Structure 1
Amino acid sequence: MDTIWQPELEIGAGPKYKAVAKAIRDGVATGDLNEGTKLPPVRDLAWKLGITPGTVARAYTILTDEGMLTAEVGRGTYVAKARRDPMHPCGQDGGLDMPLEVDSTLHNSEAQTWQVNLISPHLPSVGQAPLIRNLLADIAYDPPSGVMHYPTRHSSLPARKAAAQWIASPPLGAVTAEDVVLAHGGQNAILLVFQTLLSGRKPVILVEELSYPGFRRAAELLRAHVVPVAMDEYGLIPDALDAAAKAHGAQIVCTSPEVHNPTCGFCPENRRRALVDVARKHDLQIMEDDCYRMGTARAPSYRILAPERSWYVTSISKTLTPALRIGLAVAPEGQSARLRRASEHSFFGLATPMMDLCAKLLTHKSLDALVTQVRKTNNSYVQAAVNILGGFDLKWQQDVPFLWLHLPEGWRAGAFAQAAEAQGVRIRIAEEYACRDARAPHAIRFAINAGVTLESFEAAIGRLRDLLDNPQDQIGV
């Protein structure tokens, strides 16, 4: 049901988007906006109210996140069905035993926005938000682990079992609850591994010459020295790793073989085996960061190839939501107790309500459908970017929420990033992934932002295309 509803804004000293949001809340409360009512398109309401489309879009987004509105790609924004009593998990929606319907068109923002942030991935909302809200309500009503005790190995067991089930796949090998240590996101899992392994006055960590900046940040916290190692399109070069390990006496090598961040590269099995030989030669520990993989692994993990020295970290941030900060680390055979001590000595363990949520979320019957839909939606954005920028030196993979672009002659990475931001598009440059004194290529990484409509994303990529077609390199005088 469409509406010709038009609010009267109470314009005061506060932001106008808050006035729009309040007007919509008031309309729902008074019955002027009934369940299922379609709100005016962003641009139409903005024109009627004499404000910018971005102001209306922000109000719609806030209310969508609150659950008062729902947004459907290509259809519009609607007043949501009444939410159940938050004090009881078996309220108006029939309880958590009811199957969760996954709407393939559900989107967390109807906004057509000009400003598009492509710095970090933004997952599509395809049903995980209401699921998490329902699970939180269930836990608040009757928390399995209680709310008056410290977390313990016993209270974390259901969550660790769920996490072990979540990552179970043949390329990773057998993982049990005893192998899993829960962390506050993937970055915290990396830090835990470093805390477990590093020793000496000035420990050394080896990383790919372009690598996830979080490796360096965690190393800095522990006063470790980071040494970059040469790489090619297949990842670390074995001879370069051999030379670096010999020269620096390193303790750990960090790598992302399935989805290399930032280049979108993939390390095949034969290369991985060659790197394992080098690691064994120098008694290097291997930390495999698998946080960016959304689909099935394409080659055996280091945990299979070198089970005595491989540490595995991942999180739910790139498949479900980054908001919950649920990550995990898996130690090599016989090393779980050391990793667990690092966790317990750092923060005792995850908060018990978060462990309860983890246990319920990662075993929910709707999870596979949700993850499949997240991947499907992500891939539609990837394909849109490839269609627009495919004529350039572009690296990408299906089931990966970012792309890597070598800039054409005439563009320097820093200048391109500034020009892109002036066009409302924020990106990352290669320099951010290199060690401080290293030379970085003139390349950029841009992430998939499925928090805006596909049309807005395509328009942003189109503006990048216009810049690429018109380099602004100038001769200095």
Structure 2
Amino acid sequence: MGTITDRNVIEVDFDTDNRAKYIVLESAIRAAITRGDLAPGTRLPPVRDLAWKIGVTPGTVARAYSRLTDGGVLEAAVGRGTFVAEVTGPAPIYREFQALEVDSTPHLTGTDETRVVNLLSPHLPSVGQADLIRRLLGEIAADPPSGMMHYPSHAAERPAREAVRRFLDHPTLGPLEADDITLTNGGQHAIGLVMQAVLTGRRPVVLIEELTYPGFRRVAEMLRAEVIPVAMDKDGILPDALEVAARGADVQLLCTSPDVHNPTCIATPVARRREIIEVARAANIQILEDDCYQMQRGDVDSYRLLAPERTWHVSSIAKTITPALRLGFAMAPRSHRMALRRAAEYSSFGLATPFSDLAARLFVDPALPGLMAETRDVVGTYVRAAAAILSDHELHWRDDVSFLWLILPDGWRASAFCRAAEAAGVKVRAAEEYTGRDANAPHAVRFAVNSGVSLAIFEDAVRRLRRLLDQPPEGLRV
């Protein structure tokens, strides 16, 4: 328990509230204002003073103050301090939503049995990237390089594309020029633009892995394409199965995630990639290479390097920096660059100019590589902790990937396990979500790293899964 005083008191209880400390402090300040203990105009203690009084880091206090300031609860005066904001009228609706903890796992305060931990999608740790983005956005707002009264344009985006080129540059990706890059509103948007640029005819066919990221299927079906799954093994797509699928149909595109397969963590070795390319060339199939899940580039040559004449490469920062910005990239074969560029311009005219200005600064900021490395380290710590807890079960994982693939033991079906896990306060995804409706899905689940909660809470959630794995339902035990 901690208090801050001058003539006012804020009660901060870190012992029984398991949420992140900055959230506990933020809630305590809000409560004190609601009670009237902190009146409008009251000056709050300096960050370092409050941090010392309640036994937390200055960063914890600064983050709580920043969130409250962004929400209009506090106001900061340069050189004077931070004050409780004057109430001049109803708060804008967006502030009500900012008051919610939308960027962390929902919690039910109370015992371990009532806490809910969401492991459906990866949640990256905040290690300083939010502060970096906030600072850069402030600089852009004060003096926007692209102005605030112009449509986006290919020419105006060039600084951003050059920054992205430097950010992505790696020998395994192949030669890369700024004009190879189309900026997108996230990886899913990039996938949609590629399909719009590639698919033609009344009923084109798109091939996908038999277990695959659902976004491939959803975009293809929206564009009225027929979607056909291709069998896999431990190295990815089977070339023979790909050759059979390509016969007698208007197959135009193969979608694959060769470096980090979602959901299984498979990485396709270069020898298998060459076999797949041979089939794709013989059948004149384009390749969509999804690189959105890799937290650091490895040493295996990409499809873009191995088959540059037919590879469309997409990536984003959702799994490396933050998913909030919706910044992604798409690269077409050079003979098709204009087709991809037209798809982007016809759909949205381009990236909003403040975000292209942000990209131009963010991707060349000297602090970014260190922040990304720290993010990987934190995610790796969580992944290794989960692997240790589930060491007696068949688990597929990599410490540079923010999700894990769990093969269920005899006695469990994926759908039943997901229901039992949610009843135990843990949300995970069933294998069925990664297959077609009529497919026979494996008895497996995917769960993601949620580093928006403490490592202890994450470990507790994984232990709950472990208890379920060790005690399958009586009616299903074999």
What does 1:226-375 correspond to in 2, within 5 Å? 226-375=227-376
Counterpart AA for 1:405: L
What does 1:33-432 correspond to in 2, within 5 Å? 33-36=45-48, 37-38=50-51, 63=64, 66=67, 114-432=115-433
Deviation at 1:171, TM superposition (A): 0.4
Aligned to 1:22: 30
Deviation at 1:136, TM superposition (A): 0.7
Q: SS of the residue aligned with 1:474?
A: helix
Counterpart AA for 1:280: R
Distance 2:160 2:127 in 1: 23
Distance 1:308 1:204 in 2: 20
Identify if the C-alpha distance between structure 1 residues 452 and 302 changes in structure 2 by more than 3 Å, giving closer, same or farther.
same
Distance 1:405 1:41 in 2: 39
Distance 2:27 2:76 in 1: 22
Superposed CA deviations along residues 430-466 of structure 1, whole A, max 9, x for unmatched, are 0000011111001000000010011110110011111
Contact 1:108–1:125 (Cα < 8 Å) also in 2: no
Distance 1:193 1:279 in 2: 17
Counterpart AA for 1:22: R
Q: Give unpaired runs (5+ residues) of structure 2.
A: 13-23, 80-102, 110-114
Counterpart AA for 2:384: Q
Q: SS of the residue aligned with 1:288?
A: strand
Distance 1:470 1:280 in 2: 49
The worse-fitting range, judged by mean Cα deviation, of 16-25 and 185-194 is 16-25
Deviation at 1:395, TM superposition (A): 0.2
Contact 1:112–1:455 (Cα < 8 Å) also in 2: no
Aligned residues: 423
Contact 1:238–1:275 (Cα < 8 Å) also in 2: yes
Contact 2:187–2:315 (Cα < 8 Å) also in 1: yes
Distance 1:224 1:250 in 2: 10
Contact 1:27–1:33 (Cα < 8 Å) also in 2: no
Aligned to 1:433: 434
Distance 1:416 1:226 in 2: 28
Distance 2:151 2:304 in 1: 32
Contact 1:229–1:241 (Cα < 8 Å) also in 2: yes
Distance 1:325 1:162 in 2: 16
Deviation at 1:30, TM superposition (A): 2.7
Contact 1:139–1:357 (Cα < 8 Å) also in 2: yes
Identify if the C-alpha distance between structure 1 residues 230 and 84 changes in structure 2 by more than 3 Å, giving closer, same or farther.
farther
Deviation at 1:62, TM superposition (A): 9.0
Deviation at 1:115, TM superposition (A): 1.6
Q: SS of the residue aligned with 2:206?
A: strand
* C-alpha RMSD of matched pairs (Å): 3.1
Contact 2:122–2:448 (Cα < 8 Å) also in 1: yes
Contact 2:151–2:353 (Cα < 8 Å) also in 1: yes
Q: SS of the residue aligned with 2:475?
A: coil
Q: SS of the residue aligned with 2:229?
A: strand
Distance 1:282 1:83 in 2: 65
Distance 2:476 2:324 in 1: 46
Aligned to 1:467: 468
Distance 1:321 1:133 in 2: 13
Q: SS of the residue aligned with 1:196?
A: helix
Identity, % of aligned pairs?
51
